[in-house]
Structure 1
Amino acid sequence: MKPPASSRLFHTLRALQHENPLGLPRTGTIPRMQRGLPERRKIKDVAKVVAVSSAKGGVGKSTVAANLSLAFARQGHRAGILDTDIFGPSIPTLFNLSGEPRLSLNNQLLPMSNYGVKTMSMGYLVGEDAPVVWRGLMVMKALQQLLHEVEWGGLDVLVLDLPPGTGDTQLSITQQIVLDGSVIVTTPHTLAVKDAVKGINMFKKVNVPILGLVQNMTLFNCPHCHHDTAVFGSNDKVQRVCREHGIQVLGDIPLHPSIGDDGEQGKPTVVSEPDSSRSQAFMSIAAQIGKQIGL
């Protein structure tokens, strides 16, 4: 019998077991981890998977990931986004979604949708203000369930919003999932660019194709004098890094208050301002990514 919408998947942290941190009914389809590296496999019913990553927090990675998934949808693709940040999920806020996802007849999590994009996030499974106080093993098991126990129902492209850094979560995803490519998000700030290089080198080490780099919060156009200002410094550093590592700059996203405001209101720029130059920047980046991965 299909579980009722009101059934809770997440009662208390004490009730969770290490083998099943989300409390999902077991189907026996996911094998236990073997010694050594797991075999990479496709996410069921998903044609292409793109990871959006940043080695540094605060560069607008989740906002970029959300707008890219929406841009894919606007371009006619069946798109979804998976929030893999267990501790600080952003997708529920960005997509103005809340509540608990239902279970399918196959005991899989059913994504929640808005603006034509299917979404899944740990943020739906815990309270908005509730901290996830877990150690590494619990996090990895929860991540495994988010990756393999969601019924996407057929997607052309799934965007993975990775947490910042180059740690356990990033390595687990790159070792478990067949990724069609990765996108690095940075700002022109020197420290952010230095950390972006770490992200580039991480994906190279795990043999994941790097589709390119998105430079966020570039020029700020003053609404009064209409003068452009590079608030975080020149983009020469980003251009140099891309040349050194043989990757391309997919596009520049300006520093504009509307982008942040749109996200806070749960209606990202591609939806709220589809004809703006900011939205067109996201559309152009999505088109370039799609061409590279064969969408």
Structure 2
Amino acid sequence: MLTKQAILDALRPVQDPEVHKSIVELGMVRNVEIDGDHAKIEVVLTIAGCPLRNKIDADVRAALGTVEGLKSFDLTLGTMTDEERAKFREVLRGGQPEQATPPLLDPNTKTQFIAVASGKGGVGKSTVTANLAVALVRMGYRVGIIDADIYGFSIPGIFGIRDQKPTLIDNLLLPVVAEGVKVISMHFFVPDNRPVIWRGPMLGKMMRNFFAEVHWGDLDIMLLDMPPGTGDMALDVHQMLPKSKELIVTTPQFNATEVAARVGTMALQTNHEILGVIENMSFFEAGGQKHYIFGKGGGERLALELKTDVLVQIPIGAANETGDGIYDADTPQGEAYAKLAKTIGRKVLDQAMTEPYTQA
């Protein structure tokens, strides 16, 4: 005999594609009516015009096709009421009320923060951030990126994010997911690529909003693509995330390493651990030979000055055929990022697992 419970059990494995939780658990199955071997099912979406409507529709229909005794069904996709959205948000927050301190900023968060910094623009810091994130995801880690370069945001472009926007549920944002990486950026809130003309206090407020008003879920690593230099945003992040670790990106030229040293010195003065130096655009390889277009030894000089190591030398190369900035895994660049991700996993996550957990 066909039952409502049988239908709910079949729908339980179906997940909302954005938050990766069961649509039953999230309260998205509003109504199930049984009439013999026929059923009417109403599933509600968080917002009208949900961009993943077709995906949810297909997944629900596939699940209903497995229900024993269900010969036919009518499926309706509706939109949540304000009350239903409030319950949806409560489930996302684990049943906990909104807190003055965002979960990611809780001193006992298990998420590891890594700021990716450089002394000057043009050294490929954002490309390094994005490709490191993808390499970490390929290894099975849960990764997010906050594009903290408020004036020079470029992370969405590197991922090839064109028309996607974060989903807004009341005042809770769901980040855009690309290549398995959760991404938030000022790019999503600036129309027509207009310049951002803000002073320091506004920058700090936006950064806190990226932590407090975005549902990140469970993350192993949060990467912060920092603006170049040692300005207000760098100071805010260092104060906001006292346990954040840092990666310094440079190219081999003397000028690049000289200014990068200032960023590293700032990290040390604010008691932030430097994980190491990444030398980007280290060489161009052709015909089995390496050509050092920008010279040699910059990464080593910087690492020596900051008393750390060069973690990887990334060769110059074109990204994948889509024109975006993510390298395929089997390219020399992709292999370099895989090596870097393995090192980061060992330095950060393995270390964190051995540290005692202290309750605040």
TM-score tier by shorter-chain length is 0.7 to 0.9
Q: Provide the C-alpha distance between the structure 2 equivalents of 1:71 and 1:266, rounded to a whole number of angstroms.
A: 15
Note the alpha carbon deviations across 1:245-289, whole angstroms, 9 max, x for none.
320100000122x13xx49823500xxx21122111001111111
1:287 corresponds to 2:287: no
The answer as to whether partners of 1:242 and 1:249 remain within 8 angstroms in 2 is yes
TM-score by length of 2: 0.66
Residue 55 of structure 1 is matched in structure 2 by: 119
Residue 48 (structure 1) shift: 1.2
Query: Which one of the candidate residues 150, 156, 159 is aligned to 2:214?
Result: 150
RMSD of aligned C-alpha atoms?
A: 2.5
- AA aligned opposite 2:323: Q
Secondary structure in 2 aligned to 1:208?
A: coil
Secondary structure in 2 aligned to 1:109?
A: strand
The answer as to whether partners of 2:277 and 2:302 remain within 8 angstroms in 1 is no
Residue 185 (structure 1) shift: 0.3
Query: Which one of the candidate residues 250, 253, 256 is aligned to 2:314?
Result: 253
Is the alpha carbon distance of 1:176 and 1:4 closer, same or farther for their aligned partners in structure 2, counting shifts above 3 Å? farther
1:210 corresponds to 2:268: no
Query: Which one of the candidate residues 324, 331, 353 is aligned to 1:266?
Result: 324
Residue 294 of structure 2 is matched in structure 1 by: 232
Note the alpha carbon deviations across 1:30-82, whole angstroms, 9 max, x for none.
47xxxxxxxx9448976111111101100000000000000110000111111
Highest Rg: 1 or 2?
A: 2
Superposition map of 1:38-53 within 5 A: 41-42=105-106, 47-53=111-117
Query: Which one of the candidate residues 75, 79, 86 is aligned to 2:150?
Result: 86
Secondary structure in 2 aligned to 1:283?
A: helix
Q: Provide the C-alpha distance between the structure 2 equivalents of 1:246 and 1:86, rounded to a whole number of angstroms.
A: 30
Residue 305 of structure 2 is matched in structure 1 by: 244
Secondary structure in 1 aligned to 2:316?
A: coil
- AA aligned opposite 2:135: A
* Percent identity of equivalent pairs: 36
- Compare 176-185 and 197-206 and name the one that shifted more: 176-185
Is the alpha carbon distance of 1:5 and 1:160 closer, same or farther for their aligned partners in structure 2, counting shifts above 3 Å? farther
Note the alpha carbon deviations across 1:137-161, whole angstroms, 9 max, x for none.
2222112211332110111111111
1:277 corresponds to 2:341: no
Is the alpha carbon distance of 1:46 and 1:112 closer, same or farther for their aligned partners in structure 2, counting shifts above 3 Å? farther
- Structure 1 residue runs without a partner (length 5+): 7-26, 32-39
